Amino acid sequence: MSSGSTEPRRRRTVARALGVTAALAGGLAVVVAVAVGWLPGWRDWGLPGSGSNLGVHGVMGKANTGASRIACALPPLAAQRSDAPEGMVWVPAGRLTPGDSVYPEEAGGKPVQLAGFWMDRTEVSNDQFARFVAATGYVTVAERAPDPIRLAGAPPELLRPGALVFQVPRKLEGPPDPLQWWRYLPGASWRQPGGPGTHLEGRGSLPVVAVTLEDAQAYARWVGRQLPTEAQWEWAAREARDQATPQHEQPRQANTWQGRFPMEDAASDGFAGIAPVGCYASNALGLHDMIGNVWEWTRDAWRPGHEDAPPPALQAARAAAAGSPLAQGVIKGGSFLCSPDWCMRYRAGARQPQDLDLATSHLGFRTILEVR
């Protein structure tokens, strides 16, 4: 690819990550109004909001090497199999009809039979990811120098390691445009999710973010597990029940956004910004934060709907025509930024594409363990 076309491609990559692309793989025209990002003032991020703390349980602050630490105590499971791996719950086998009817990309789901599997009760935390990095020396994608040849001609900031970070705009100008509240910040990474000068001190119980699919899979391999498929994730979020009429209301037992996005988060659910893992009540399976808090990686490649995957040759042709759609994966669950006025993706059936090599500060993951 010539240097003249690389920079626009990178801009498309960023735009896709922001959910504003109008041409996803397969030619489906979707303007994805995605609510993603961070609240202003990273130093206030993750702290309980001044609201009524609806839905939040067991928040505790405690000393951690002198720093204020915020965490939530996980409630005991009502019933747990004796062979349960630590920190995981069993998701029974069943039949799922995936998808929903709010956004076009949710349509077309066909029944799929799933075997049972173990799943992490919570999103992987900063503490857990830090142990992985300490043991292996792993360097995340956002911490590596981008390929200068692949990005030849790109703006200087895109040639430095970093991640997309949300910043509340001082004012909105013109039509709503995520580029008004998202910035690519060199130096942003899982260690500094808000960019240079931010840190994880006292936030070890918050979910790790700014990780790409490669990073998440590296962690999963290290613990001897893997990421869920989209269907596995959705089945678990639906509490292993094939619901005929999914709920579309903004959930109370989840960390989402209340108020006018992206300017004002009333935090009436108890948190402005990301919450520590497990602060909200679990679903019937014992899984916390499947909805809201941070988006979660699946191991599935993105398709614009639930139709059958096109033949490889057609996928390759689409990739050549549209940039790199094969380099997108499916993420699930929505984030703390999902709001009724911008992004109703606080639902099990909601889904979104995510560029595999672009770290964003609203996206984490959890692992599963399949039983063979």
- Only segment of 31-39, 166-174, 321-329, 335-343 that touches Ca ion (CB under 5 A): 335-343
Shortest Å distance, C-beta 206 to Ca ion: 13
Select 58 or 155, whichever has its Cβ closest to Ca ion: 58
Instruction: Select 181 or 271, whichever has its Cβ closest to Ca ion.
Output: 271
Position of tokens 């380099």?
327
> Residues 271, 280, 346, 365: which binds Ca ion (CB under 5 A)?
271
289 binds Ca ion (CB under 5 A): no
Please name the amino acid found at residue 270: G
The residue count for binding Ca ion (CB under 5 A) is 4
The answer to whether the bond into 262 is cis (omega within 30° of 0) is yes
List the x/- string, 170-199, binding to Ca ion by CB under 5 A.
------------------------------
Nearer to Ca ion, 110 or 252 (CB): 252
Burial class of residue 233 (count of CB atoms within 10 Å of its CB; 0-12, 13-18, 19+): buried
Supply 153's token pair. 């001609």
Least Å distance between CB 254 and Ca ion? 8
Minimum CB distance to Ca ion, residue 268 (Å): 8
Residues 245-264 that bind Ca ion (CB under 5 A): 255
Q: How far is the CB of 185 from Ca ion (least distance, A)?
A: 22
* Residues in the chain, overall count: 372
- Of the listed pieces 217-225, 313-321, 328-336, 352-360, which binds Ca ion according to CB under 5 A? 328-336
- Cβ neighbours of residue 168 closer than 8 Å, sequence gap 6 or more: 39, 40, 181, 262, 263
Give whichever of 53 and 324 is closer to Ca ion, judged by the CB atom: 53
Q: How far is the CB of 39 from Ca ion (least distance, A)?
A: 9
Least Å distance, CB 255 to Ca ion, is 5
Rounded Cα–Cα distance for residues 153 and 165 (Å): 22
- 215: contact with Ca ion by CB under 5 A: no
Q: Which CB, 118 or 271, lies closer to Ca ion?
A: 271
Q: How far is CA 189 from CA 99, 141, 194, 212, 361, in A?
A: 32, 9, 8, 10, 8
Cβ count near 78 (within 10 Å): 8
Pick 153 or 259: Cβ nearer Ca ion:
259
Q: Which of 202, 200, 179 is nearest to 188 (CA)?
A: 200
Which is closer to Ca ion, CB of 169 or CB of 259? 259
Smallest distance, Ca ion to C-beta of residue 56, A: 9
How many CA atoms lie within 13 Å of 184's alpha carbon, on the beta-carbon side? Answer: 19
DSSP characters over 92-123: --EEE----SSSGGG-----EEE--EEEESSP
Closest to Ca ion by CB, 253 vs 255, is 255
Q: Fill in the DSSP letter of residue 48.
A: B
Q: Which of 182, 185, 222, 190 is nearest to 206 (CA)?
A: 190
Q: Which two tokens stand for residue 50?
A: 């001044």
CB of 351 to Ca ion, least distance (A): 21
Our finding on whether 269 is near Ca ion (CB under 5 A) is: yes
Give burial (CB, 10 Å; 0-12/13-18/19+) of 367.
buried
Closest CB 73 distance from Ca ion, rounded Å? 19
Q: Is 99:340 a contact under the CB 8 Å cutoff?
A: no
- At its nearest, how many Å lie between Ca ion and the CB of residue 150? 37
Q: Which is nearer to Ca ion, 129 or 271 (CB)?
A: 271
Q: Which is nearer to Ca ion, 44 or 214 (CB)?
A: 44
Q: Which residues would be at the binding site for Ca ion (CB under 5 A)?
A: 255, 269, 271, 336
